[in-house]
Amino acid sequence: MFDQDIEELASLVQNSRRAVVFTGAGISTECGIPDFRSPGGFWTQYKPIPFRDFLSSAETRFEAWRRFLMIRESIGNAEPGPGHHAVAELVARGHVAPIITQNIDGLHQRAGVPHQQIIEIHGNGTYATCLSCGLRHEIDWVKETMAATASAPACVTCGGIVKSATISFGQAMPEQQMADARAATFNADLFIAIGSSLQVFPAAGFPVTATRNRTPLVIINREPTGLDGLARLVINAEIGPVMTKLLARLAGREANH
């Protein structure tokens, strides 16, 4: 059964030129970064802090930054995993353009995918910005400032609120990235969702849009998702082995031509 699934996936990928790969936290668990909802995941221990609460109190901002710096400890040491490398290979072979990612860890870039092929709809956790004037601040600076002042950082230029360049619950989605992701979804000839519970909206609306556009949807995830009923193919298995087998099968198909 599993081999048949890989065969079908290889056939879909081989025939695609404008596939969209849509990734969630699950592609990075093999790199040691906990996902959102799996048992023991970071967020089962700490509830996310909504954007409104972040804005409303300096104490909440300090706590949000403290948690962010804890997560960053694991992200900072992480290397791209087999899933990231396989997706990079699919991009390099001309099957996939672009990647829409919910992840903030920057590992698709680190696996060698060109920056312009990656749409980060939930932002990027490798730097911070001032919410008033937009000035970029480095995370190391935030860490040092918090250690020295025991308070949440303020912008060095205008004194505004400094926040990681990620999208929090309740925060507006980035307009350009959402427009790019919509356009890529409408243009896609295949849509592959990898490592996402597909519960976070509006992000999970992209695979729904793809199927409304009659684009075949493939879901690769350890556990079932609420969108499985819409998918042409669902593979409930570990991402690294699935993607490694996919590459081997594609290579075999090319050798036979």
**Shortest distance (Å) from residue 136 CB to ligand NAD:** 19
CA atoms of 95 and 192, how far apart (whole Å) = 12
Nearest to 208 by CA among 219, 221, 220: 219
Contact predicate 64/84, CB 8 Å:
no
Among 11, 18, 36, 160, binds ligand NAD (CB under 6 A): 36
Contact status: 221 vs ligand NAD (CB under 6 A): yes
CA atoms of 33 and 28, how far apart (whole Å) = 6
**Shortest distance (Å) from residue 123 CB to ligand NAD:** 8
Q: Residue 140: which H helix or E strand, with range?
A: helix 139-149
Among 21, 22, 24, 246, binds ligand NAD (CB under 6 A): 24
Among 9, 10, 21, 26, binds ligand NAD (CB under 6 A): 26
Per the annotation, the verdict on 95 as an active-site residue is: no
Nearest to 170 by CA among 70, 57, 48, 59: 48
**Shortest distance (Å) from residue 43 CB to ligand NAD:** 7
Candidates 85, 95, 122, 137; catalytic one: 122
CA atoms of 21 and 118, how far apart (whole Å) = 10
Q: Which residues within the stretch 173-212 sit at the binding site for ligand NAD (CB under 6 A)?
A: 195-197, 199-200
- Percentages of the chain per state (helix, strand, coil), in multiples of 5: 45, 15, 35
**Shortest distance (Å) from residue 35 CB to ligand NAD:** 4
* Interaction pattern, residues 93-132, with ligand NAD; x per rule: CB under 6 A: ---------xxxx----------------x----------
- Judge if the upstream peptide bond of residue 202 is cis by omega within 30 degrees of 0: yes
Residue nearest to ligand NAD (CB): 26
CA atoms of 185 and 198, how far apart (whole Å) = 15
- Can you give the binding site for ligand NAD, defined by CB under 6 A? 24-26, 28-30, 33, 35-38, 102-105, 122, 195-197, 199-200, 221-223, 238-239
Q: Which residues are catalytic?
A: 122
